[in-house]
Each structure stands twice: as structure tokens, then as C-alpha cells.
Structure 1
Amino acid sequence: MNEVLSQDEIDQLLTAISSGDVDTDDFSQPTESRKIKIYDFKRPDKFSKEQIRTVSIMHETFARLTTTALSAQLRSLVQVHVASVDQLTYEEFIRSIPNPTTLGVINMDPLKGSAILEIDPAITFSIIDRLFGGQGEGTKVTRDLTDIETSVMEGIIVRILGNMREAWSQVIDLRPRLGQIETNPQFAQIVPPTEMVVLVTLETKVGEVEGMMNFCIPYLTIEPIISKLSAQYWYSSVRRGATTENLNILRERLSTIAVPMVVEIGSMDLTVRDVLSLTVGDVIRLQDSHIYDHMALRVGDRKKFWCKPGQIANKLAVQVTGRIEAIETEEFEELVAEEGE
């Protein structure tokens, strides 16, 4: 308290203290309480809250993509969403999962080391039952997977890893590959038991069957990109938009897309009555078309190229002679030049 007392107030205070009306303990300085944070040196925190939040955002995208992919493949309602993201020791993770279970050892190229994708047995057998023609019912029997069931789950995990690559694309061009599938957690020792890991828990529902998928990433694996797991880097990379990595990914995906190509020989106007009266052998005379004229080649719903008809072996073909857009641009520039003169 910064208030200055007058002489009269000081005298009254001294009189009250000497008479015992006021307890001097009431004016003692309060002791400063220091906040103590408990730190366990056996479990050092490797990830900050901001980095954990960034990992959560990345895998929310992964969950949405996986929901769509599995729903289409299983032809059933599938729901996947991030339940939690925690950091713990690898030993604690191994003890928390059932035995047997489905453990996919994932090679995190170009990052060093491996990660673990664990799928709850209830979800595993529900997926297998659905793909084998059943209703997608889970089983309460705990057993190892057969060779055929293991092969089926390999295909599912490979499909899921494609979604993981896209979810991580803002941070690194991850190329995850499935190494092997284990059913006993004790055989999946990818790091020492005391090593810290980040565990992404995904609540999964296939039809009426509910379970968990866990994605375990060791700190040693994710350490080279730990600086990129920040909100500032994440949002700046989103704003950058088209980067070299993104363009290469887009080119790779666009190169596999099939588009229809149609050659237009010509056109004419007919009434509905004439169309209905057409029979085999009728000849239709095209308007403003000549046998030596260039024909338009449509890609999708746009005219893109000029071409000439021809033949290769016993098949009809066309030879591309120019781009329609380029020709139209030249004609437009010539028209502007003439108007300027």
C-alpha cells in the first residue's frame, strides 16, 4: 500500500497497538508463495504444447481423409476423428495396447527410424468381415490373424498411409511404407522402452463397431522436423500455397487422370422431327465443312487443338496441327493492331 499516513493517523495507530486493540500480526508482510512445477527426469517433456497442437491439426486432416477412403472401400459408414495427442514413454504405449493386436511397423522415409500404427482388434475383424462379404460385425474372440487376413490388412494399411502422406505434406514430403505386421507388441521394439513418443489416438467406428487406432511416433524419428511443428510455420506454409513439392505432387496426380478427347467433324441444325425420322443409310450434309478443313479436337468440354484426319495401320487417327487458343490470340492481336492503325 503506497498511501502516506498523516501524523494524527500515526499517533492513533500507535495508541491502538499499545492498548492491545490492534494485533500486530495483522500488519505482517505476507509470505510470497513460489509456484513449483513437478518435473520427472525419467519422463522429460520433449514436445511443447504448440507442437502437440500442430500434430493434432495434421492428424485431423488425416482422420478426414481416412474416413472418406475407408467408407468408399468398405461401402459402410466409417467415422474417424482425433481423440487425443499425448507424449509418453514407449514402454507405457506398449503396455496400454492389447495382445494380440494389429501392429503395422511404418518406415517414415525420409525421416529416420520407424513408427507404429496400431489398430484395435475389434476394428480389424470388423474390416475383415466387411471385406469378406459380411455385415462388418466385430468378434469377441482374441486370436492372431491368419495369412489371408494379414494380407487383407496390409492393403488397408497401405491405403491409410497414402492419406498420411497428404496430411503431412505441409511439413515434409513424407513417404511412409509398411514394413511388416506384428500381432504381439513385445516383438515391435522400434526404440528403447524409456524413449519418449508422441501418441495420436484416433477414435474409429465401422458401422456399429467402435474401437481405437493409435499412431505412435518416436521423438528420435520426428526430431529433424521438430522446429516445423509450430503454428507460425504451419500457417505460413499454408499461405505459401503452391510450393515446388506441392506442384510435383499435383503433376503426379494429374498425370493419371483420364479425360475424354473428341474430334468434331462438323455440325448442322436439325429439327426434332428430322432426327426422329433418321434411319440407317441416311446422309447428313454438314454446314460450312469441307473435307480439307481443319477439325476441332475437344479435350473435356473445351476446344483445344486443330487437327487433320488420317489413318494409322487399320485405325482412324488425327494429326494435331495447332492450338486453338494460340490461333485465337494471334487473330485478336492482329485485329487490335488494325484498329490502332
Structure 2
Amino acid sequence: MSTDELLSPDEREALMEVVSETGCSGVETVGDQESALPYDLAGQDYAISSLLPVLETIHERFAHRLGIGLFDLVRRELTVTAKSVERRAYPDFTRSLGAPCSANIIQLSPLSGPALLVFDVELIFMIVDTFFGGTGRMYKSTSVRDFTTIETRFIQRLLDLCFSCLEEAWQPFVALKCNRIGSENRPQFITALNSNEPLTVCTIQISRDNIAGNVHLALPYSLLEPIRKTLLSSLCQEHPNPSPALTERLHDGLQESQVEVRCALAGFELSLSDLLALRVGDVIPVNIPPTAVLRVEEVPLYSGHYGIAQGWSALKIDQALSAPDDWASRLTPPDFAPFAPAP
């Protein structure tokens, strides 16, 4: 069926006029400056993204200390892996948690507002099984149940361990004191946090053999906003932890380091064609200066007179060319080829 049979000439003309008017108005809308929407660079998305590097550092410190504490708790080596810090919406995070789980509402004083510290059920079962010398068999329940008395005690021990590790991990940045406000076994019943506020979620995976569990730390942005400037300024600062033993080992290692020392008597420039034209018996005139330069790792440090000492080609140092502070500024390519000692 052709178009002429569907539409009359008047209908086609009216349709073309509507299309033309719509196209023209669309062009004017694009150029209208009043239709531009404002964008807040200091919004929560940008603010949280800027905090991710320092939160990653704190998260790594937390995972390291947690691994040491878990070994003291169960007397067995567990693999502790710190995953990347993520920005997640509150409903998405709670839906990702299985039931039952130990969702603890915690307070990080002096910060205002609650946070979440969640232990997966797999982690709790694994810790209990490992503590009592189990083989790593994962217990599976046919229905959702509450934790037993023994499991609840281990949850409290895990909570105390995480609190001490968190306080140590945050110590170079902010002095915190952790305490628990409440807990839930089912994530959907958690109402202490604002569901419209974005979270920064730090996840640590703890594994043994073929089983693994996770620890989740969810921090709302309102909790981090008062210390945002402090955290950002800490990115440009170093937090030294001096160790006399380590300093001495580094000093001894530097003293025993091998460096390349080279000395040249004279040199000259030669084109590639002249080099290829050289034959046995050719004489190359060279002007040998009265002093030679000693280079250490290509840095000229000393100059002196050359000669023979105890049957070896030797250099008698007369003066230092520069102070140690000026060595880096005197980095220049070598002018001469090295010479080998003559026996």
C-alpha cells in the first residue's frame, strides 16, 4: 500500500508543517542558556570520590592489623584480603547482605552519626569452626535462624578485635573511640542510617582453605564530612614511625652499597666514517691534561694527578670538585672512556 493511499495531500502538508516547526524549536532550545542545569562540584559524589585514596590507605591498615589479631584469636593463619573501597547506595548495600548476618550499628566518637560493621554468616561459622579445630566444613541451615550463644560470644570477640584495629588504623588521621549502639541479624530491619545517603563501603575478605567470609564497614558521607579537610590534607603529609633498628639497617646497607667509579685521562671526538677508516699503525694525536677527573656513578667528585702506585695505575686526589649537596646538580655525561688498571 503506497503513502498516497494512506494520507491525503492536505494531511501530508499539515504533517510536514508540524515536523518543521518542531525541528526549529529544538534548535532554539539547544542554544538557550537558561535551559542549562547547574552542577555542584562540591556535591556528595565528588566529595566521596576525593576521599577514596585516603580511605584506601586506612582500609589497608585496618586489614593488616585485623589479620594479626585473627591469628592471635584462632591460632591459625587466615588469608586477609582488603578489597577496594566502593561508593554504594544504602538500599543496594543492604540488599546485598544475606540473612542472617551480624549487622552492628557502631559509633565512632568524636564523629557524629552511626556506621555499620557487618559480619557475614560464613565468616562467623568459619571462625567458630577454626577455633575449635574444625576441618573447614561450612555449616548450612535449611532455614534462617538466630545465632547460638557460642556464635554470639565470638561475634562480640570479633567486634572487640575490629574496634581495636579500627582505632589503630585511624590513629594517624583521627583519634577514634569505637562502641556498639545496637545490632540486627536481618539487614532489612536496620533503620538507624538514612536510606537516601550514599555510603563508602570497605570490604575485607577472610578465607581459609576453600571457605571465605567478609567484613563490611559502611560509613555514611555525613560521618566523614566534618573531617574531610583533615583527611584530604593528610594525603600530602607523611606519618613517620621511626624505628632505630630499621634506621641502623638502612645505614649499614647504604654503607655496603656498590658504586661504579671511573676515571679517564683524555678523550676525543671521532666521526663514524673516520672510525671505519682506521687501520693498524694509524696514529691519533691526543692532548693529555695534567690532571684527571674521578667520577662516581657518572658524577664528577674529585680531581688529581695520575701515575703508578705499587704497580697499579693510580690517581692521587688533590681536591673535591663539589660538596655532597651539589652532586645532583653536576650530573653530566662522561667525557672520556674509562681506563683499566695496569698490573
TM-score (norm 2): 0.54
Q: Are 1:77 and 2:80 matched, yes or no? A: no
The AA in structure 1 aligned to 2:116 is: I
Unpaired runs of 5+ in structure 2? Answer: 1-38, 243-343
Deviates more, 1:167-176 or 1:125-134: 125-134
Q: Assess, with a 3 A threshold, how the Cα gap between structure 1 residues 137 and 95 changes in structure 2: closer, same or farther.
A: same
Contact 1:80 1:205 in 2 (8 A): yes
- For residues 326-337 of structure 1, what are the structure 2 equivalents within 5 Å? none
Percent of aligned pairs with the same amino acid:
28
Corresponding residue for residue 164 of structure 1: 166
Aligned counterparts of 1:135 and 1:178: Cα–Cα separation in 2: 32
**1:74-113 residue pairs with structure 2 within 5 A?**
74-113=74-113
- Secondary structure of 1:238's aligned partner: coil
* Alpha-carbon distance in structure 2 between the residues aligned to 1:229 and 1:116: 20
Q: How does 1:165-244 map to 2 (within 5 A)?
A: 165-230=167-232, 232-236=233-237, 238-239=239-240
Aligned partner letter, 2:99: N
Q: Deviations over 1:160-184 (max 9, x none)?
A: 2101100001111011112333211
Mapped contact 2:48–2:87 kept (Cα < 8 A): no
Q: Which residue of 1 aligns with 2:122?
A: 122
5+ unaligned residues in a row in structure 1: which ranges? 1-38, 243-341
The corresponding residue for 1:67 is 67
Kindly provide the amino acid, as one letter, of the partner of residue 90 in structure 1. Answer: Y
Are the aligned partners of 2:163 and 2:179 in contact in 1 as well (CA < 8 Å)? yes
State the distance in 1 between where 2:153 and 2:236 align: 39
Asked whether the equivalents of residues 101 and 118 of structure 1 are also in contact (C-alpha less than 8 Å), the reply is: yes
Counterpart AA for 1:119: F
Q: CA deviation at 1:134?
A: 2.9
AA of the residue aligned to 2:128 = I
Q: Structure 1: how far apart are the matches of 2:55 and 2:220? A: 13
Structure 1-normalised TM-score?
A: 0.54
Q: What residue identity is the alignment partner of 1:53?
A: P
Mapped partners of 2:134, 2:182: distance in 1: 26
Shift in CA distance, 237/172, structure 1 to aligned 2, threshold 3 Å: farther
**Aligned-partner residue type, residue 49 of structure 1:** S
Q: In structure 2, do the counterparts of structure 1 residues 46 and 147 end up closer, same or farther at CA, with 3 Å as the change threshold?
A: farther
Deviation at residue 114 of structure 1 after TM alignment: 1.4
Quote the RMSD (CA, aligned, Å).
2.7
Q: Does 1:45 align with 2:35?
A: no
Q: CA deviation at 1:126?
A: 0.9
Shift of 1:195: 0.9
* Distance in 2 of aligned mates of 1:135 and 1:160: 25
Contact 2:48 2:200 in 1 (8 A): no
For residue 68 of structure 1, give the secondary structure of its aligned residue in structure 2: helix
* Contact 2:124–2:151 (CA under 8 A) maintained in structure 1: no
